[in-house]
Amino acid sequence: MLKILVNGAKGKMGQTVVAAVQADAELELAGQTDAGDDLAAAIKKSGAQIVVDFTQPSARLANVRTIISSGADAVVGTTGFTEEDLKIIDAESKKLKRAVLIAPNFAIGAVLMMQFAAQAAKYLPSVEIVEYHHDHKADAPSGTALKTAQLINEAVGQTAPPAVESKEFLPERSQGARLGNIRIHAVRLPGFVATQEVMLGALGQRLVLRHETINRESFMPGVLLACKKIGGKAGLIYGLEKIL
Ligand SMILES: NC(=O)C1=CN([C@@H]2O[C@H](COP(=O)(O)OP(=O)(O)OC[C@H]3O[C@@H](n4cnc5c(N)ncnc54)[C@H](O)[C@@H]3O)[C@@H](O)[C@H]2O)C=CC1
Ligand SMILES: O=C(O)C1=N[C@H](C(=O)O)C[C@H](O)C1
């Protein structure tokens, strides 16, 4: 049985991961930690082989470093990682011969949406993203929206800019934040878990790719698969699609 420690275990995702690990015959729940606990000591004491981390964007890098330097592999859903963070993690995890899988979204449908969006943008290069989340979310735009925009920009080079720059009448950008020419709009409202629309417009037509997450169990098959697949690897694996 693979020994799993859940970091952020008191949180919305942490609690769901604890239940999913307990229900899986191939996995053993070795420990649970949250803010204020000594993560390194808990890993060593429990003999955990893998730490699943769903915590806070502000704690993202420190947690991964603690996990791999304490002798465990990491499956990370926490958002907020920058390009620089990812380079650091890849280098440090290779040196320590540990695997770190970071996925901005563990729901298979969301992974497909991102792939389809990157494909579609090659033919429909005017793109905007609208993401909708619960109003307790710590970060904006979502990790999924950022990854989607990155994948599209990688696939297309540069998407099309809007035909004109509309004048803004409020100091905040009512037309969204931008990654390249892709505008990203973040809605925060009670009543959502996570939804994302990628809108691709062209003359007289629109393609809308919409993924809806209605509960946090949706992320669990991806998290459990990651726990079972990363053993024996070294370095950073960025995105669930890399192990599907
Ligand atoms: N990759 C994915 O598929 C998904 C990623 N997320 C991301 O996971 C993260 C957590 O989301 P939620 O569970 O909704 O948040 P939450 O706020 O419900 O839970 C976070 C938990 O982490 C704990 N925590 C904060 N700092 C910590 C630290 N330094 N060490 C240990 N524990 C710490 C908090 O006390 C809390 O219990 C966010 O970044 C969110 O965007 C959420 C859903 C899916
Ligand atoms: O905070 C959340 O809830 C979610 N966070 C991830 C993100 O930022 O993309 C994944 C999913 O959207 C839910």
H helices of 27-121, where?
Answer: 39-46, 60-69, 83-95, 108-120
Domain 2-102+217-243, CATH number (from 3.40.50.300, 3.40.50.800, 3.40.50.720, 3.60.9.10): 3.40.50.720
* pLDDT score of 173 more than 90: no
pLDDT at 124: 97
How many angstroms separate the first and last alpha carbons of the chain? Answer: 22
Share of the chain above pLDDT 90, in %: 94
Q: What is the mean pLDDT of the chain?
A: 97
* pLDDT score of 169 more than 90: no
Where is average pLDDT lowest: 24-38, 86-100, 163-177, 210-224?
Answer: 163-177
- Pocket flag, ligand 1, residue 12 (CB < 6 Å): yes
- Residue-wise pLDDT tens digits, 10-40: 999 999 999 999 999 999 999 999 999 999 9
Mean pLDDT of 170-191: 92
* pLDDT score of 172 more than 80: no
The pTM for the full model equals 0.96
Token pair, residue 82, equals 């920058």
Share of the chain above pLDDT 70, in %: 100
Q: Do domains 2-102+217-243 and 108-213 have the same CATH topology?
A: no
* pLDDT score of 130 more than 80: yes
Mutate to test the pocket of ligand 2, among 102, 142, 218 (most ligand atoms within 8 A of CB): 142
Q: How confident is residue 182, by pLDDT bands cut at 50, 70 and 90?
A: very high
Ligand 2: which atom is nearest the Cα of residue 144? 9
Radius of gyration of the chain (CA): 19
How many other β-carbons are positioned within 10 Å of the β-carbon of residue 236?
25
How many other β-carbons are positioned within 10 Å of the β-carbon of residue 124?
18
Domain limits, the chain: 2-102+217-243, 108-213
Ligand 1: which atom is nearest the Cα of residue 105? 3
Q: How far apart are CA 79 and CA 58, in angstroms?
A: 9
pLDDT at 165: 86
Sheet containing 126-133, strands listed edge to edge, beginning at the edge strand earlier in sequence: 177-179, 182-188, 126-133, 194-202, 205-213
Mutate to test the pocket of ligand 1, among 17, 52, 55, 81 (most ligand atoms within 8 A of CB): 55
- Pocket flag, ligand 2, residue 144 (CB < 6 Å): yes
Q: Which fold has domain 108-213?
A: Dihydrodipicolinate Reductase; domain 2 (3.30.360)
- Residue-wise pLDDT tens digits, 82-124: 999 999 999 999 999 999 999 999 999 999 999 999 999 999 9
Asked whether residue 79 is marked as a ligand-binding residue, the answer is yes
The identity of residue 113, as a single letter, is M
pLDDT at 166: 87
Q: How far apart are CA 63 and CA 5, in angstroms?
A: 13
